[in-house]
Structure 1
Amino acid sequence: MTADRTDPVVTTPCGAVRGRREHGVAVFRGIPYAAPPFGPRRFRPPVPPAPWDGVRDAGSFGPTAPKPPYSEIFARYLSDPVVPGDDCLNLNVWTPEPDPGARLPVLVWLHGGALTRGSSAVPVYDGRGFARDGVVLVSVNYRLGVEGYGLFPDAPANLGLRDQLAALHWVHESIEAFGGDPGRITLAGQSAGAISVGALIASPRARGLFRRAVLQSGPPEALDRDKVRRMVRRMAARLKVPATAEAFAAVDRELLLRTQAEAGRFGGPVLGGPAFGIVVDGDLVPRDPLQALVEGDAARDAGLLMGWTRDEYRLWLVPGGLMEHVDRLGPVALAGAMARCRCGHEVVRGYRALHPGAGTAEIVGQMVTDHLLRRPLHRLADARPGSSYVYEFAWPSRLPGLGACHGLELGFVFDTGDAPESRRLAGEGAPQELADVLHAAWVRFVTDGDPGWQPWDGTHPVRVFGDGPPHTVHGPRDAELALWTAGAAPGQSPPAPDGSRAAELRATVRRLRRLSGVRGR
């Protein structure tokens, strides 16, 4: 859209930007919050962008971070636009009106994509619905994959997370000029974005930069450093270079992306394997984020909205026919799930008893979902009763087999169900009335900290959004989650398998990865 003299202009610390008026709100896209992370700044912490003279056009999305494309299987369901260019540390702002006196609540959005894909340019994340309803929406690009989360002896860890922290500082310093209130910032994300939110809640360096947080289908966590190092070493072996940031910085960007995709080919939420992720670094992430939030006093005053979809695992297992493959593998798949979840046969027997009609793939999927998402989010809510609100998204996609899968709630939260990219997951005919109530709940939480249902307490209230009116169910997952702590101290995981058993289960997982042949998300 071409700019004209009636379009809004806002002055930021580095210079003025000209946005656009669209759908009754003001939109500013591609505003740099840090300098391009390439050349001498590659694999280095973010630094402020260079100031500019005149008025910078902010009518189009800025460059996206380097990333490999989704496999053909997942690209049918997930949109991931690519905008070329080096200036990828940028953000977008949707606001009802850029009036410094408005003091409106602010929602800062961190996209998902396993920390290897995704961007703020995904149409599902269009912020006009939030701006229409009185919330300033900011969406952020950050470094991905080996550029953002590689672990090297000669570079800082968690560069993508450091980018997000730099963006939060920018928002805190600049958002008033766009009509936002720097004292009413909510940090939100889904999947890898929610994992990032959890790390920032727990980080002492992010204190005071936001007031509330939303974690959608992603818990606070830190990956084992050796798991990330294995990814880097795999890439280094394929590239025939040392596993150092200096060596990787000299590699052609496209070759680096192809190598990254190949090295992570058989990883994924269900199968595990080497991956990129947030690690404890003694600085930005001084300790495991979940432990810090459960046991310490990290961000005790932050209100939390968090939850999951009923059938998270179906996005990981249905594309490519892996669901049927897992069902055929039967005991092999169950052994792999035990290895992935570090649990014993008693957990599998318990799930079988609670879900007598379920197939192997459903049992495996629910076990992995509970292990990765519901257990840690329950622990977090238990540690913060009275200020935590928990939901479950249970509306099933119109597309065969997907159910209420991972990521399906996004088009409803943003009220962007009319976008073709939302229909990739939801299918045709998604109910607008569900979008109305879910989006309104998020707006209420961002505005005053109460999404409209009972906060977490000993009865474990969970707000269920599915077919029909939203309703509260108490302890809907308690029976399954109790299986994991049987015989363990309160709040602790069950004991890990002994050495020989663990080795056997790891071998089973490796076999399952080879048999599946499906690229992970």
Structure 2
Amino acid sequence: MMLQPVVHTGQGTVRGVLDDGGVAAFKGIPYAAAPFGANRFRPPRPAEPWSGVRDASGYGPTAPKAPYPAPYDRLIPEVDIPGGDCLNLNVWTPDPGGRLPVMVWLHGGAFANGSGSVPGYDGSRFARDGVVCVTLNYRLGADGFLYLGEGDPANLGLLDQIAALRWVRDNIPAFGGDPDRVTVAGESAGAMSIGALLAMQSAAGLFGRAILHSGAAHHTLGPGTGRLIGRQLADRLGVAPARRALAAVPLDRLTQAQQQLRADIAARPDPALWGEATRNLMPFEPVVDGVTLPRPPIDAIADGAAAGVDLLIGTNSDEFRLFLVPNGVIDHIPEPLLAQTAAGYGLDAENAIRTYREQRPGATPGDLLAAIATDWFYRIPAVRLAEAQIRHRPDGVFLYEFAWRPPTFAGRLGACHAVDLPFAFDNLHDTAFAPLIGTEPPQRLADALHAAWVSFIATGDPGWPAYDEKRRATLRFDVRPDLEHDPRPEERTLWEGRR
């Protein structure tokens, strides 16, 4: 029988649902006011208080976004719930009267998709294991990351995340969470967001640990690129490059234009049109505006901006294959394009291709491009973040690699981007992930990865040695986890001074 627990927050009282396992869930709680009308394109404002008891049994509205393009619309679970109050969060707790560690989850989606309401992010298993779990929505695309020039508020999506973390600080004790033991965790754009938060003074003190998977502290844009993207978006919509003009565009038309913008960058990666976005193909992402984000995050972290924060950093072995296998592109990469891509990433193309090929006998040009792009996008930024943070937290940084390869797509996906998510949340039962991971994923791997996250959240120790530049300890998660030291050093050293 389902019961209805009640909790009092700073804005009002909420009524959740208690499941048969004793986990209480409270969903759709506003942490900031609806970001529309007078609040459009402005920093988040406090949520309006309410009287009476608010029903928190179901997820709230999600941030406006276009659907994932095919074939990714069937591989990556997505949820769309209409409504203006999209700046909301969800809480799972095993004991509203406790004092438990807290995990705050920031979803991925290339800063243009995703939500905290995806069923795969259900936090019941974390609560089962003694962690209060919070998932949230933040503004996406232009609403979250548009930059038009000096004097304009920038990085509103990051400011939303900070507003949610402040809400957690102020309200999580009512749900049984300890505000002094908060871990912020994220994947892909969520992890890249955390890389930025680590460098932002306005986020200091809101969390003491962080888990970054498939994203680190390198994916930002300079203000010049931000302005280029803003003008390109306005031109496509036929309006002036001004927030008031863009706010008058119907939301569905705006989100479609944002989606088309990304497709245009991929089709014509001209730096004169897109600046730095030609490398990572994301038109909307954090901008180093000099105010909300004063410096490139990796530089600020190297100088001690997050000196007191423990880090657990993970990547997947074959991240970029998600973007090349399902659409068939991997089989149509010519050797000249491989060389051009390696050179575009700043490598000595001939030497780099030879080195990557030596480790992968029989690899096609597409296979090699996937490996090189995986390192540029994900693995090397993870290593650089670890190297930067161990200067200030030598015993508090841990690296791992998720290496399990699903049988889908005839086994060609590899341990690609996003395949780790249902394992970290221990939600393998969620059939929405089946097109990506298959129908019989190994539960023992979910047990191991999830337990490592829970241990880090609770104690700061995931269960293997801390990272240093001598041993470079990295736990390799497969059906049987294995501790490695400095995996693929020949490839790692290729990037020194280049990434």
TM-score of Structure 1 vs Structure 2, range by shorter chain: over 0.9
Does 2:316 correspond to 1:300?
no
Residue aligning to 2:46: 48
User: Equivalent residues in 2 for 1:104-123 (5 A)?
Assistant: 104-123=100-119
Structure 2 counterpart SS, 1:182: strand
2:412 maps to 1:415: no
Whole-Å separation in 2 of the counterparts to 1:356 and 1:224 = 39
Question: What does residue 287 of structure 1 align with?
Answer: 295
Q: Which residue of the partner structure matches residue 340 of structure 2? A: 335
Query: Structure 1, residues 32-82: CA drift from partner, whole Å, max 9, x if none?
Result: 000000011100000001110000110111100000101121112011110
Matched AA of 1:316:
F
* Equivalent in the alignment of 2:160: 163
* Residue of structure 1 in register with 2:280 after alignment: 272
Name the SS for the 2:26 alignment partner. Answer: strand
Q: CA deviation at 1:267?
A: 4.2
Tell me the secondary structure at the aligned position of residue 280 of structure 2: coil
The one-letter code sitting in structure 1 at the alignment partner of 2:408 is: L
Mapped to 2, the partners of 1:212 and 1:274 lie a distance apart of 27
* 3-state SS of 2:241 partner: coil
In 2, Cα distance between the equivalents of 1:256 and 1:335? 33
2:33–2:87 CA contact under 8 A, matched in 1: yes
Question: Whole-Å Cα distance in 2 between the matches of residues 126 and 273 of structure 1?
Answer: 29
User: How far apart are 1:284 and its partner, in Å?
Assistant: 2.5
Cα distance per residue 1:397-421 (max 9 Å; x no partner)? 1202211110111101000000011
Q: Distance in 1 between matches of 2:397 and 2:282?
A: 32
* Alignment partners' CA distance in 1, 2:85 and 2:340: 46
Q: What does the per-residue CA deviation read over 1:197-221, in whole Å, with 9 as the maximum and x for residues that have no partner?
A: 1111121111111110000010113
Misfit runs of 4+, over 3 Å: 266-274
Any unmatched runs of 5+ in structure 2?
267-276
Superposition RMSD in Å: 1.7
SS at match of 1:366: helix
Cα distance in 1 between the residues matched to 2:498 and 2:316: 23
* Deviation for aligned residue 1:349: 2.9
Deviations 1:277-334 (A, max 9, x none): 101122221111111112x1112111100010111011111121111122xx221233
Closer/same/farther in 2, CA of residues 197 and 402 from structure 1, 3 Å limit: same
Query: Displacement of 1:266 after TM fit?
Result: 4.1
1:497: which partner in 2? none
2:401 to 360, 372, 392: 392
Q: Distance in 2 between matches of 1:306 and 1:394?
A: 14
Letter of the 2:444 counterpart = E
Q: 1:396/1:270 Cα in 2 relative to 1: closer, same or farther (>3 Å)? A: farther
SS of equivalent to 2:400: strand
Q: Percent identity?
A: 47
Cα distance in 1, alignment partners of residues 414 and 320 from structure 2: 9
Alignment check: 8 A CA contact 1:303 1:387 kept: yes
User: Which TM-score applies when normalising by structure 1?
Assistant: 0.89
Give the secondary structure class of the aligned counterpart of 2:47.
coil
How many angstroms apart in 2 are the aligned matches of 1:239 and 1:149? 17
- The count of aligned residue pairs is 478
Q: Which amino acid aligns with 2:311?
A: L
8 Å CA contact 2:338–2:365 kept in 1: the answer is: yes
1:318-329 paired onto structure 2 within 5 Å: 318-326=325-333, 329=334
Q: TM-score, normalised by structure 2?
A: 0.93
> In the alignment, what sits opposite 1:510?
none
Change (3 A) 1:168 1:434: same
8 A Cα contact 1:230 1:274, kept in partner: no
SS at match of 1:348: helix
Equivalent residue number for residue 482 of structure 1 = 493
- Alpha-carbon distance in structure 2 between the residues aligned to 1:432 and 1:265: 37
Look up the match of 1:237. Answer: 235
